[in-house]
Structure 1
């Protein structure tokens, strides 16, 4: 069963008079429950592909189907609803609200979903405990390390119970120890919550945690390899 299917995606950008190819007829099928790494140098198309999957940027042509929903034809309101309820995002810059506590940051998406105060507080505390931040739920982002802030961002993504989590360079601002801890957390959540992870990265330290590595270059898929010996 596919979590998300991309067919013949094309995307170009313009810088002045120069036309830059972001995606060049990319087709990719990602199975539900998988952990996929999109790899390649800067400008290879991995973030463009991730943004298209998340409904953050629309391809010029091609189709994207999330579950049974074609998303490339949705309007902005429908895309916002899709992102709120079916997709979780983890960014390299964490994107936490600085004036909110860790728990309040995790609750934020659930509040937008209409989850009641008692339920969302309990769910936020449970997820923070699961990812190793028990006892830190009252701290604001400035009182947490970079690795801890990224864990809060992951907790926020998983707490809304999405079908798909998209992570864009999640280890870019982390030291090697924190990066390893984050990848071990991704593996745990992927297996325990059965949620599909797609991660864009050029960090060779973390590629080995994925069970499938898709390499892009100049907007095209160069290779697509299964990694049965991925780190447990």
Structure 2
């Protein structure tokens, strides 16, 4: 389902008396299983495009399709259902619930989905082990490093087996080594689960991992290049 098609997307924002262009007739086709970066400086439109694809923000005009679904024509309820079941989100700020353990944070999405308690616990335990957090399931977010918190966020994003993961500056709060480990994890998940990854970033180290690099300036796509991704980091 995770082929993505954007056609002539436009989006503006008002800031006082000023109108800011977020997206300016953006068209983009993304194949299922892609590993793609949206790059550009602050204000380039990359986060606006990511949010539009994820149904977090409605474009003023244009169309967005994910598989057979027309995202721009969905109701708020339909968008919420799509995000709950079909898309995983990874944000710069982690967005973990501070009073819940790592395990409970990962279970939370499945709880909202109505997955039975035993099943969601088994799946959450398995996915935390897959992202390298075995033995840390009962720790609260404050008891985890930034990199570990981001791994919990990744586990939460993928535990429901979405076809598409949208990541907004996922390495912004991480050091170089932890950033490389996170990108290696993304690549592994992309290759083993065929999850489509769309990553908004201005970090050149992250861009080096992507097979396709979309460059944005002032709400427009100014470059679309295929590249040989960086090799995986050496195991620590």
TM interval, shorter chain, is over 0.9
Distance between the aligned counterparts of 2:26 and 2:175, measured in 1? 32
Q: Which runs of 5+ in 1 are unaligned?
A: none
Tell me by how many angstroms 1:230 deviates: 3.9
Give yes or no for the alignment of 1:94 onto 2:58.
Answer: no
Q: Which residue of 1 aligns with 2:104?
A: 104
Q: 8 Å contact 1:208–1:231 — kept in the other structure?
A: no
Comparing 45-54 and 111-120, the one that deviates more: 111-120
Question: Size of the alignment, in residue pairs?
Answer: 232
> CA shift at 1:73, angstroms?
1.1
Structure 2 partner of 1:183:
183
User: 1:2 offset after TM fit, Å?
Assistant: 6.1
Structure 2: 5+ residue stretches without partners: none
User: C-alpha distance in 1, partners of 2:21/2:7?
Assistant: 17
| TM-score (normalizing by structure 2) | 0.96
Q: Which residue of 1 aligns with 2:161?
A: 161
Q: Secondary structure at the match of 1:209?
A: coil
Q: For 1:156 and 1:2, how far apart are their aligned partners in 2? A: 18
Q: Superposed, which structure 2 residues align to 1:55-70 within 5 Å?
A: 55-70=55-70
SS of 2:29's partner is: strand
The TM-score with structure 1 as length reference comes to 0.98
1:79-111 CA distance string (max 9 Å, x none)? 111100111000000000001110110011011
Q: Deviations over 1:11-59 (max 9, x none)?
A: 0001111111000000001110111000000000000000000000000
CA contact (8 A) 1:92 1:168 kept: yes
Q: What residue is the counterpart of 1:7 in the other structure?
A: 7
Deviation at 1:187, TM superposition (A): 0.5
1:25 maps to 25
Aligned 8 A contact 1:2 1:29 in 2: no
